[in-house]
Amino acid sequence: MSQLTRLLFLTYVLALHVVIGVLVLKTNFLLLAGKTLGLLPPEEWSLPLYARIVGQAAQDATVRPGGVTLLGDSLMEQLDAGLIAGDAVNVGVGGSTTRTLAAEIPVLRSLEQSRGVVLEIGVNGLKYRPIDAIAHDFAAVLDQLANVPWLMTISVLPVDPKGNAARQRPYLRNDTIAALNNELRAVCQARRSCRFVDVSVSVSRGDAYGPDGWHLSAAGNHALATMIRDHLPSSN
């Protein structure tokens, strides 16, 4: 091997190591590779989500029986349970999908003694899978809630198409959300104890959205809580 060839080879090896170093240290290459190879859980199973679920399990151990349980993602998490019922407890977890919720429910032992559940879930799953797969996981969630006295499922809310969230997340499209709601409604209505409530009217006012056009403002949360409360079954 000539000196020039050896020099070119060493330069190539050095450049290759630099590229690999950049991939490993400056990008999410290892994270993506781990998920692709099945060595890491999907992105929806983030460390903050795990931490929130562990926290909810600890909270669940202190829940008194016979109350209303609010279950779902960040839309539910941000609601003031006291606006819905005096005995309501909120175990919503931001970032939840139908799939992560199906895995979380077994640690929520208080659900077995709840007088009813208000459920809101589904929109986050649009980032990871098609609507039919979300509906399949939603059915698994409802199967785990089959023994609660009553179950109210509220619709996924539309987003403000001019908001930052819709611009930054291609999956947040109101026609897609409407199609998702149709599937969730059908799954719910196939079960005797499940009632599907369309709460879109709760965000019809201009001040209902927060800055991102996805999550609700204080006024929007209050309107949503009022609508949920008005649809609760009688406690008699």
62-71, 121-130, 142-151, 207-216: lowest mean pLDDT where?
Answer: 62-71
Look at the chain and count its residues.
236
HSE of 159, CA atoms in CB hemisphere, 13 A: 25
- C-alpha to C-alpha distance for 126 and 173, rounded to whole angstroms: 10
Is residue 113 pLDDT above 60, yes or no?
yes
- Going by pLDDT thresholds of 50, 70 and 90, the confidence category of residue 23 is very low
- C-alpha to C-alpha distance for 69 and 185, rounded to whole angstroms: 20
Are 178 and 136 a contacting pair, CB within 8 Å?
A: no
Three-state secondary structure string covering 141-198: HHHHCCCCCCEEEECCCCCCCCCHHHHHCCCCCHHHHHHHHHHHHHHHHCCCCEEEEC
- C-alpha to C-alpha distance for 133 and 40, rounded to whole angstroms: 21
Is residue 84 pLDDT above 60, yes or no?
yes
Please report where in the chains the tokens 């939603």 appear, as a residue: 138
What's the mean per-residue pLDDT of the chain?
A: 82
For the stretch 130-169, pLDDT in tens is 999 999 999 999 999 999 999 999 999 999 988 899 999 9
- What is the model's pLDDT at position 139? 97
Q: How far is CA 216 from the centre of its chain?
A: 15
Q: Please tell me what DSSP assigns to residue 79.
A: S
- What is the model's pLDDT at position 236? 47
**Nearest CA-CA partner of 201 in 155, 153, 152:** 155
SS3 212: coil
The answer for residues whose C-beta is within 8 angstroms of residue 130's C-beta and 6 or more apart is none
Host H or E run for residue 118: strand 116-120
- Going by pLDDT thresholds of 50, 70 and 90, the confidence category of residue 48 is confident
